[in-house]
Amino acid sequence: MHRDPVPAGAAVTVVIPAYNRAGVIARAIASARAQRPHPPAEIIVVDDRSSDDTAARAASAGARVVRHERNRGAGAARNTAMHSATQPWTAFLDSDDMWLPDHLARALAASDGQVLVSAPGIVLPSSGRSGRLVGNGHGVPVRLRSPLSLLDPENLVATSGTLVSTEAARSAGGFPEASKSEDVDFWIRMLEQGPGLALSEPGYVYCPEEIHASVDATGMREAVQSYLSAYRDRRWYDPRVVRRIAAQDRWDAVRADMADGLRAATLRDLTAIAASPRSAMAIARLLAYRRTARRAGTRAADRLPADVIQQVAPHRPPTADQLT
């Protein structure tokens, strides 16, 4: 059934990249249309050459649909929508996530003087595992005064919770058309345009479908290191922060090797960590942060209305807890 266009409202273009997301795309669009007190002025879904009826379902749900002639990835899809955006603010929403009703209102209220405002997402508890936050898990708002502050101690900017100045985003050059962690590189360049703010209150529910479940963690870590290396000539670049991130990555590699039964690799990495007091301190800080994010995520999940849980549950497969 065709729906009327989104009524005039908040000065925001919502950008939703989608590839074979027919089963969930209407849910994402509905969560954008349901924003209080005003829905966004524009919702653009970029269909990245889907083989299902994602585009038709997105149009029926009330979005403007732009189609790619070939599959180019989420970063390229977001860029296509940003170039077509008509509003001064652009908000990102992944096709399998769902905004909470007051997300845009809170992000816009905090946007004065910022080029970027990001709310964390809630990962719901499943299969006996605790909930958690993605994005800012500190429990308090964090000012992002330089690009490296977004990685303190790990990525504080969650894509589906992020609102950016459309003008600054275009000046920053958009997302790289890569398949791994392209959002981190874009946030770095956004924060070169001006300051940002990572909010403490969740703005969406992170609903891990195929696009989230098939994560190449090692590849993502390597991609982030590659992006950072490209900026080593910038005034904000700090090799100490990069070394801290590398130590944290090594810890996550240890956990992955342990899970895979790779004893030799585990022993090698643990020996390297033990030999570096700074690495051990960085990892201790990371683990403390992740415990805080788990507690905050569980509390936030407990406060979710029953109707939100019901909308998410049919689509939510069990997920591995990545925060031990």
Domains of the chain: 96-231+287-315 (3.90.550.10)
Q: Which residues contact 187 (CB under 8 A, 6 or more apart)?
A: 116, 147, 150, 155, 157, 162, 196
Residue 148's pLDDT is what? 95
- Alpha-carbon distance values, 189 to 91, 247, 255 (Å): 17, 24, 31
The separation between CA 47 and the C-alpha centre of its own chain, rounded to angstroms, equals 19
pTM for the model stands at 0.89
Residue 149's pLDDT is what? 95
Which amino acid type is present at position 93?
L
The pLDDT tens digits along the chain (324 residues) read 334 444 457 999 999 999 999 999 999 999 999 999 999 999 999 999 999 999 999 999 999 999 999 999 999 999 999 999 999 999 999 999 999 999 999 999 999 999 999 999 999 887 667 788 999 999 999 999 999 999 999 999 999 999 999 999 999 999 998 767 889 999 999 999 999 999 999 999 998 654 444 456 667 777 888 899 999 999 999 999 988 998 888 888 888 778 777 777 677 777 777 777 788 899 999 999 999 999 999 999 999 988 888 887 655 544 433 333
Element (H or E) spanning 259, and its range? helix 239-259
User: Cα dihedral sign for 272, 274, 278, 284?
Assistant: positive
Pairing of strands 116-118, 162-165: antiparallel
| Terminal-residue alpha carbon distance, the chain | 45
